[in-house]
Structure 1
Amino acid sequence: MSTNKPLLKVDNAGIRFGGLKAVSEVNLELLKGELVGLIGPNGAGKTTFFNLLTGVYVPTEGSILLDGEKLNGMAPHKITKKGISRTFQNIRLFNDLSVLDNVKIAYHTQAKHSIVSSILRLPSHFAGEREMEEKAIDFLKIFNLDDVLYEQAKNLPYGQQRRLEIARALAAGPKLLLLDEPAAGMNPQETEELMNLIALIREKFDLTILLIEHDMNLVMGVCERIYVLDHGQLIAQGTPVEIRNNPKVIEAYLGEEVS
């Protein structure tokens, strides 16, 4: 599934806020088609690292490349167009819009009709809108959300809101999907359903996925490789078995040295 050339290459990347190093000297590679975990204790710098990848923060050191193209300093919306989409630890939806409209908004990043045609309400505008709506409805069927198309997002149960957020991120047509604690707040059944969904979308959309998660059963169950951050620095990487038995990782989580 993967090739030798990394889709994402992070080379000694980091960021300072004043004199504080929030993330420092991170080296990370993702090959096309991989599903990789990023774990670490609270405050380890995981979400800050996601913010570097998506242009919310600009690295003060190192470089970030997607398909060989440097992303440093690129605006978030341009990074989205280049092929990186993300979800958030705290779900961010357009709460007062329908499920369908939340996904249609994401499809607008791929719209073929021009701004001029939209302003002038030309036939190409209406044809483009119909096409996006049909695509969005078909897309939402994959996530079992086609029976709530016209519900406001805020009225959905928590598990469905999380699925909608993932669906919206995928509708932008990414090469790389970043999932920031997708199982947060979920019960065991919802978490198991999420594991199955992640495996499905990876296979169906030929995606590369980087996953931040505190639920170790989920991480160990779906990820091929895992990186571990602590105090803004990578302390380990390897397979789930290697990470589970790594003394540095155990020490970071338990706060005590392992003999």
Structure 2
Amino acid sequence: MTENTPLLKVDQVGIRFGGLKAVSDLNMELKQGELVGLIGPNGAGKTTFFNLLTGVYVPTEGTVSLSGEKLNGLPPHRITRKGISRTFQNIRLFSELSVLDNVKVAYHSLAKHSMLSSILRLPSYFSGEKEMEEKAIEFLKIFKLEGFLNEKAKNLPYGQQRRLEIARALAAYPKLLLLDEPAAGMNPQETHELMELIAFIRERFSLTVLLIEHDMQLVMGVCERIYVLDHGQLIAQGTPEEIRNNPKVIEAYLGEEVS
């Protein structure tokens, strides 16, 4: 990867489901360290696009590259190892596991000890488990969740469940973090705290962040650039100010809040 190579490059990407084009001819570039928004009306293809980036769907046209390496056709776990992590619109935690174990699960994808050492309970297994637990606790402290280590994830308040999901995504040490409507279901105070958290983790972990969100105050408040999808096609891109005043965006969001 050269200095000028974008971290994420999406080139003419599209996907069909039968005769329906859910995403069409989409181009996007994200540089290292950017915080970028992806907005659009319901059904615009935003989550489908995230699924294309993470290997849930395979593009029927175009290419997705991370650090100059093509990702098309790789399964989700391989793409996670390459450096892309995500959260989901509907929180997907292991509800019966503890807060600590939810984060440790992410570390297991990067575990250094082998399956054999786990089965035989060799010293490398125990040292690896101890290291993962220590790192997980460090993450939970950052997200102010260290007081809930042994609490079941399902018992956390909604806003803290969102924090836990982001902490788990970061535990895989991604280069690119995809956040799918993280403010969904949050009250204004929680949304404000989330804005601060997203800005903080971007700086703290030198991350590139791509954010899907309907809350325009959050998007306009934290994103440097914004892409806009409508009916699976990119209709605009630019700074928050440019997007706020773009006639195509206003039309696409007819009846919705864009400022």
- Aligned-partner Cα distance in 2 for 1:127–1:153: 26
Mapping for residues 210-229 of structure 1, pairs under 5 Å: 210-229=210-229
**Paired residue secondary structure (2:7):** strand
- Aligned-partner Cα distance in 2 for 1:37–1:255: 20
How far does residue 187 in structure 1 lie from its aligned partner after superposition? 0.1
Deviations 1:65-90 (A, max 9, x none): 00111111100000000000000000
2:40 equivalent to 1:40: yes
Mapping for residues 157-176 of structure 1, pairs under 5 Å: 157-176=157-176
> Normalization by structure 1: what TM-score?
0.97
Deviations 1:190-222 (A, max 9, x none): 000000000110000000000000000000000
Number of residue pairs the alignment of both structures matches: 254
After superposing on structure 2, the runs of 4+ consecutive aligned residues of structure 1 that deviate more than 4 Å are none
Residue aligning to 1:8: 8
Q: Which runs of 5+ in 1 are unaligned?
A: none
**Paired residue secondary structure (1:51):** helix
How far does residue 114 in structure 1 lie from its aligned partner after superposition? 1.2
- Aligned-partner Cα distance in 2 for 1:136–1:51: 26
Residue aligning to 1:105: 105
How far does residue 138 in structure 1 lie from its aligned partner after superposition? 1.2
> Normalization by structure 2: what TM-score?
0.97
- Aligned-partner Cα distance in 2 for 1:168–1:98: 12
Residue aligning to 1:56: 56
| Counterpart residue identity of residue 22, structure 1 | A
Mapping for residues 106-145 of structure 1, pairs under 5 Å: 106-145=106-145
Residue aligning to 1:251: 251
**Paired residue secondary structure (2:178):** strand
**Paired residue secondary structure (1:254):** coil
**Paired residue secondary structure (1:226):** strand
How far does residue 109 in structure 1 lie from its aligned partner after superposition? 1.4
| Counterpart residue identity of residue 119, structure 1 | I
**Paired residue secondary structure (2:116):** helix
Residue aligning to 2:17: 17
Residue aligning to 1:156: 156
- Aligned-partner Cα distance in 2 for 1:6–1:125: 37
**Paired residue secondary structure (1:110):** coil
- Aligned-partner Cα distance in 1 for 2:64–2:138: 34
User: Percent same amino acid among aligned pairs?
Assistant: 83
